[in-house]
Structure 1
Amino acid sequence: MATPGKHLVATPPVSTPFSTSNHHSHPAFSPHGPRSVVPSPQTVKKSPANPNFYGYGVGVGYDSPSAAMALGGLGLEGMGIGMGSGRADEDDRRRRLGTVMEILQGNKGRLSEAGMERLARRVGLECLWETHMGNGGGRSLIIAGSALALEIDFTNNLVKKVALSFPESSEAVARHSDKAGDILLRDLQFGLGESPLTKMLDRFAGNLERLAQLDKLSVIPGLNCHEAIAGIYESLERLHVWEVERLKEQADMAGKDSAFLERTALCTKSGKPAMHTRDRLGLSIDYWQDKRRVSGQTSKLEEQKIWSLLVECAPLPAMVFPPLRVSQNWISTEVQKVNPPVEDAMFLDGPILDWLEPDNTLLPSSEPAKPDAMEGIEQASSQKVPEVMFVAKFDPPLIVPMGLAMQIYNSTSAALDMSQLSTFDGLMFPHGPNDPAETSEARTIETEATVPVFDKNGEKSTQTHRNTLLIDKIDYGRNLTDLPFSHPRQLVEMLPALRQYAFLSTVLQKTFGTSSKPPSKETSPTKSKKDEFADFMAQTAAPKRSFRMDVHLTTQPLLKLRVAFPFKRRVADVTFEIKLNGVVEVVSQNLFNEERSPGEAKGLKAADLGRMLEITEDLGIWAEFVKRRLEG
């Protein structure tokens, strides 16, 4: 049996957790941006709404028997929570109450008129019922907040119509309300195999909670968080349309349809903003798509895995971070600077975008006038900034090296919590119960995968691959989940680096992730003459040999994958560098010599090997392509 990693040579020892040697691979996002972590005792966390007894249904009945059983099992009946004995410890009662709240929070209830009203009140919205006269009767539930109104028509507990409006908002918000209402209606309609007894409100609850969060943070008049989100969309959509038009002018884009151009802008430019998409309310900035280079997929963008930044609002934990601003003019109408400064032209490659700085959004202050300690003159504080900030949530979460995470947080002046440290490979491939605890030593991961193989006639077969991932230069990592920001420019400038690791995650997961399995025990392919004769006499075939491939991953100072596998009685050795925007470049290879042996390359160039990995996004399929093309 082959020894794992026998094709590869070990690299230098472990790197430090705070190494900044990755600056070549991850340049600063802005030439004038901060270069160090901004110290702050604050960490950005979610601020859930404070529950009340009525909102969670305690003592007012349940539409789920599991909640009632939980109360009974914990000895909490109705509003007399643990008060019967009078001896329960206060901390114990608080713990039990917290357990009940967690159960009730997790259970959004089933679709019914009563269940819908409880859900709306739970998230802090007001409810009002209106009864229909004639036409079969029925009722409408009016759910209202400070800046939104949602009308849901019921007939016998079945939802017939959903209408969403934003009475206090601008046209930038109102133009997307019909699309949002359609999503909410689909959330409440019966799917295949669903009935009034099984239809849950979970998906609808998620969208309603997002609406309620923006509404609760709004201060009408003065601050409308729905308009703040829509304003970012308007600016980024203006940028996206401009970039698509510029792509049409490129020679290599001649004849390409609009879907291809939009996908190119999504994966290589400033992303693609979208309001209320993929059954989720809110703004998403799509920046990466799996199988982006596969032909025939241009009309099925929604079916591919999309990597996005979800833009939301959150309470400002302390005045140590810039509050949000409400504006539709984060970038100029011309988009590109006409006469950019010389220093910008020297640092930045490509067009210089004309980003703008909108004025601060100010609210009337309720604080009384305070005397000035120096002048002795009362200074009336008539205005204040909102205690709300923008937050970008990574969907899905993205695993990056610690050095890149520090650059990302520095670029938005956010504080990075350094209390939890984990290795990059430990986040990408969590240690199992039988694996040793995470250490700073080298790690080897072995998997087995079934790879489709197509011959020259197009006939399909399969080949078993036994893959080994070697990580001997340990790097610390971070799983990016959410990030506060103050300007959409900050998000756009980090997209090229995010795409590097979105692509890497796809490649590694297909080869070593959930689609693979632990290696099975394999009998040795080497047999004696006597054993071979015995197999022949027994009419049994020798087991098919598996294909072995070693992959060496390094993230510092550059992101590289080195692949080795048997090829023409020697060991093929190809090193890829994954660059910004997920571009794959072949650093070295020994498969062929383009200059000395053109026939050996069979029309291939080194750049074609990188492009094939971009297309397949799978090292196993890529290796089979190389074998079929160059060995045949």
Structure 2
Amino acid sequence: MAANTPTPSTNTPSRHLPAFSSPAARSVPPTGGSNMLSYDSPAVLNMLNDASSGMGGVGMGISMSGLGMSSLGISASAMGRADEAERTRRLQVILDTIGAKPGRVSEEGLLALCKRMGMPYEKHPDEAGTWSLLIGDEAVCDVTFHNDEIAKVNLQTALDEERPELQFGATGSQILLKSLEPRPGQSKINITLERFSESLQKLLTMDKLGAPQNGGVSCYNAIAGIYTSWRKLFEHEKKTELASRVPDERFRNHRAEREVLCKKSGRPRFNGGSCLGLSLEYWMHRRLMIPRIATNQSEKGKEKMDVDHPPSSYTEDHDPEVNEVYSLSIECESSPSTLYTPIRISNDWISDAIEKPTDANDANASIDNILHNTPSIDWLDPKPTYLEPAAQTDDAMHLDSTPGRLPNIRFVAKFNPPLVVPLAVYMQLYQTVGIEPRTEDFRATTFVGLALRPEEVDPGIMNTTAEATHEIRSSKSTLVIDDQGKEQMRKHQMSLYVPKMEYSRTLESLPFSHPKQIVEILPVLRQYAATTSIVKDCFFEKAQKPASDQKLPLSPPLTPQKNPDQHNMEQPLQLDINLSYTPPTPRLTLHIPHPSSAVPTTKEECGADTSLTSVSDLLSDLLSGPSLSTTPSFKHPLSVTLDIHANGDLVVSEQNLIRVPALQSSGDAGGSEGKDSDADVNMEQAEKVEQKVKRLGKALDVCGDLGVWGEWLRREVVRMEKAGRSRVGCSGCGRHSAQQILGPHETL
């Protein structure tokens, strides 16, 4: 796939926009006679400019000599002629804005950053060119420069002594060093300290919260305890998943890990990827695709790795554009212990048995576990963590010296990236963790405005949510593989229609008191993460990358090939997508032209008549079902509707590619035995058709791209029609799988 070129969104129920729209204001009606001139007319502006030469006018030829500026409500400041105080204020605002941003990567920039953050620093006594950043009482970061370039970063924390198996300092040093290096395609001169400062701020915040004057509770140990329990749960679920797979299955370990990541309790990582600290990964876009780099790694060696030393790098870390990961960064924040449950330091948030039998009398048991009689997670409730008593004092009003005090700190999960959900889901998630959302969050914002067009005015604020169907347009080039195996690029003109604008909110952070609360909401988060990742691939408006940084996300550059049907590829193909964001289930509907409307009929392959016929005729031949209808025209557009269920499961609810046979008996003529026989046959046909329908949704789950999925649907229709019209062995008819259209990646 190539560059995505979004266009501004519109609010019109039809595709045809007005030919001309005047930029003049509509709120003030014209007065006077019919000959009244409008000041947005170019002729009037030219006339005023001509008159300005003899009238001493200013700007656009409008004379100010007879008009008082104060009477018009125009001040000198508004005209751009501010006095000295106003200019000073504006200059200070500019300086404050510039000063708030970290500088470039250099020795001078690093020291300036430390001063701005209030972080002490000193020269290392033994290593030349090394500065030691004193991050509170529990962390020290040594940064070594060589010729004004970063040579080495070494992070040391108190957690390395208490929990050496976590290797927090070693892996954290790699993340800090990576944040100071240029991204692919970025020049060294353009590297800033922004990412580095974010990590320092996170460490500094944890140290301040756990300072002796605040009670001396270590936030490092509290977060490490959650990681220990989550990792125990992850390894148990991964072991169970591996046991259900054959031993010689390819990418067996990757399959198991990503299944737990996207369908079960998520994958916890300590200093994983680019996140310093604990993160819980809960969704991966295109999780069934693995870059070819993974084929060079030893699966057996990875499976033998010690549980206490999980890998700090995965294949998806090297290509985030293909396998975008949605995660939660677990941190601590200040919060009164009287209002919300504070943090607890414990490694025992979950029992060693991990699971427990389902008990219908258990108030905490899940309804799904009870209905399916499956075991549930055996969560534990650790004891509260109390602060150490403060030093003795004669002040009776000094409340900090009272025994049994709880820390004024709570856990918080920060979304990376932020996740847009409907307002009803937003309220439900806050209720799950036992707090009320902030009142200032009640704004008329929508999924389109928050997730797809953040730089435009939100349709909810424009009060257009109930007036017309909102439309967003985009164009992109998609890799297409024809029946002869030749790769070509086809341009797609894509339109997203949102008939009902659901008010939505952006989830940036969510406090919690127990790690089980986060695991319980993961199925809902995955619904909207899956929806967002699919839609944003085609319709998110993002800045264009430099030419040196542009690349095809799923395939290498292609060599143009001559093809007799090249003119068909050059014609843009229209794809229409309907989006329903209303809970409890988001819904996507794709409408794409039938291949017969763009592909000429030919009789050249396999020596058989391969002229395109209707899908219903094909299915009649394939299934030999008497209940299949053959009346619909093959020129009707292909249409598939998908519901995104919990855990991001894609379920086909409607489609017009495959007709589902009705379960009918042959009547009374054959007696009861005849009825049973026919019912068995029809049931078998229904199961086959059901598998074919599920395969339609599976294809989108694999590729994760609406354009690629649409081309695959069109090619599948052609393939099935050819198979239905010619039963001879065909060596070149539509044998390309979804993997081949996706480029240099392996599909699971």
TM-score, normalization by structure 2 = 0.62
| 1:430 alignment counterpart | 453
Aligned to 2:350: 331
Matches for 1:174-185 after TM superposition, within 5 Å:
175-185=167-177
1:164 to 155, 160, 165: 155
Q: How does 1:332-371 map to 2 (within 5 A)?
A: 332-338=351-357, 340=359, 342-343=361-362, 344=364, 347-349=367-369, 350-364=374-388
Summarize the alignment of residues 475-624 of structure 1 with structure 2, pairs less than 5 Å apart.
475-514=502-541, 545-557=571-583, 558-567=585-594, 568-595=634-661, 605-624=692-711
Write the mapping of 1:62-77 to structure 2, written as runs, cut at 5 A.
none
**Aligned 8 A contact 2:444 2:503 in 1:** yes
What's the CA shift for 1:264? 1.1
Given that residues 699 and 709 in structure 2 are in contact (C-alpha distance below 8 angstroms), is that contact kept between their aligned partners in structure 1? yes
Q: Does 1:123 align with 2:189?
A: no
For 1:311, the equivalent position in structure 2 comes to 330
- 1:8-47 correspondence runs (5 A): none
Q: Give the letter aligned to residue 125 of structure 1.
A: M
1:74-473 residue pairs with structure 2 within 5 A?
A: 100-112=95-107, 114-132=108-126, 137-141=128-132, 143-154=134-145, 157-167=148-158, 170-171=162-163, 175-188=167-180, 200-220=192-212, 222-251=216-245, 255-256=249-250, 257-294=252-289, 299=294, 300-302=315-317, 303=319, 304-316=323-335, 319-338=338-357, 340=359, 342-343=361-362, 344=364, 347-349=367-369, 350-364=374-388, 381-417=402-438, 418-430=441-453, 437-441=462-466, 442-445=468-471, 446-473=473-500
5+ residue gaps, structure 2, are: 1-11, 16-82, 295-314, 545-566, 595-633, 663-681, 720-748
Cα offset, 1:270, TM superposition: 0.8
- Work out the CA distance in 2 between the residues paired with 1:362 and 1:98: 44
Shift in Å at residue 229 of structure 1? 1.6
Structure label with greater radius of gyration: 2
Residue range with higher mean Cα deviation, 148-157 or 218-227: 148-157
Identity of aligned residues (%): 29
Distance 1:516 1:279 in 2: 22
Of stretches 288-297 and 151-160 in structure 1, the one that deviates more from structure 2 is: 151-160
Counterpart code for 2:494: N
Q: From the superposition, tell whether residues 459 and 196 of structure 1 become closer, same or farther in structure 2 (CA, over 3 Å).
A: closer
* CA drift at 1:461: 2.1
Secondary structure, aligned partner of 2:659: coil
Letter in 2 for 1:428: A
Q: Is the strand fraction higher in 1 or 2? A: 1
In structure 2, what is the Cα distance between the partners aligned to 1:263 and 1:542? 39
Alignment-mate amino acid for residue 440 of structure 1: T
Give the match for residue 678 of structure 2: none
Aligned residue number for residue 724 of structure 2: none
Say which SS state the counterpart of residue 180 (structure 1) adopts.
helix
Distance 2:716 2:430 in 1: 45
SS state at 1:131 partner: coil
The CA distance in 1 between the partners of 2:287 and 2:129, in whole Å, is 48
**Following the alignment from structure 2 to structure 1, what is the Cα–Cα distance between the partners of residues 700 and 406?**
49
- Report Cα offsets for 1:442-499 as digits up to 9, x if no partner: 3332333333221123212233333332222221111111111111111111111111
* Residues 1:228 and 1:99: Cα distance change in structure 2 (over 3 Å): farther
- Displacement, 1:196? 8.9
Higher helix share: 2
Aligned equivalents of 2:455, 2:149: Cα separation in 1: 46
Cα contact 1:4–1:468 (8 A) shared by 2? no
1:309–1:395 Cα contact (<8 Å) kept: yes
Give the Cα separation in 2 of the matches to 1:586 and 1:254.
Answer: 31
User: 1:610 offset after TM fit, Å?
Assistant: 1.1
Instruction: Report the 3-state secondary structure (helix = DSSP H, G, I; strand = E; otherwise coil) of the residue aligned with 2:171.
Output: helix
1:548 CA displacement: 2.9
Q: 1:570 to 1:120 in 2, by over 3 A?
A: same
**Code of the aligned partner of 2:329:** L
SS at match of 1:593: coil
What is the CA-CA distance between 1:95 and the residue it aligns to?
8.2
Alpha-carbon displacement from aligned partner over 1:265-298 (angstroms, at most 9, x marks no partner): 1111111111112233111111111111235568
Q: Are the aligned partners of 2:104 and 2:190 in contact in 1 as well (CA < 8 Å)?
A: no
> What amino acid does structure 2 have at the position aligned with 1:307?
Y
Query: Alpha-carbon deviation of 1:246?
Result: 0.8
Q: Check 1:512–1:160 CA distance in 2 against 1; reply closer, same or farther (3 A cut).
A: closer
Q: 614-623 vs 302-311, which deviates more? A: 614-623
- C-alpha displacement of 1:602: 9.8
Following the alignment from structure 1 to structure 2, what is the Cα–Cα distance between the partners of residues 406 and 338? 31
Gaps of 5+ in 1: 7-84, 373-377, 518-540
- Cα distance change of structure 1 residues 206 and 580 upon mapping to structure 2, 3 Å threshold: same
For the 8 Å contact 1:392–1:483, the answer to whether it is kept is: yes
Task: State how far apart, in whole Å, the 2-side matches of 1:509 and 1:431 are.
Answer: 12
TM superposition shift of 1:405 = 0.9
1:523-577 per-residue CA deviation (whole Å, 9 max, x = no partner) reads xxxxxxxxxxxxxxxxxx8996543333222233532122333332123332211
> What's the CA shift for 1:605?
1.1
CA distance in 1, matches of 2:293, 2:525: 22
- Distance across 1 between alignment mates of 2:368 and 2:247: 23
Distance 1:252 1:514 in 2: 43
Cα separation, 2, equivalents of 1:215 and 1:318? 18
Kept in 2, the 8 Å contact 1:266–1:286? The answer is yes
Q: Is the 8 A contact 2:132 2:140 kept in 1?
A: no
Q: Judge conservation of contact 2:143–2:154 (CA < 8 Å) in 1.
A: yes
Q: Which is further off, 241-250 or 274-283?
A: 274-283
Shift of 1:312: 1.2
Q: Aligned Cα RMSD in Å?
A: 3.9
8 Å CA contact 1:266–1:287 kept in 2: the answer is yes
Q: State the alpha-carbon separation in 2 of the partners of residues 500 and 369 from structure 1.
A: 58
SS at match of 1:421: coil
Query: Who is 2:309 aligned against?
Result: none
Q: Which whole-Å CA distance do the structure 1 matches of 2:515 and 2:144 have between them?
A: 38
The residue type paired with residue 275 of structure 1 is: F
**Do the aligned partners of 1:127 and 1:141 also contact (CA within 8 Å) in 2?**
yes
Please state how far the C-alpha of 1:368 moved relative to its aligned partner.
7.4
Q: Would the alpha carbon gap of residues 187 and 477 (structure 1) be closer, same or farther in structure 2, given more than 3 Å must change?
A: closer
2: CA distance, partners of 1:496 / 1:341 = 22
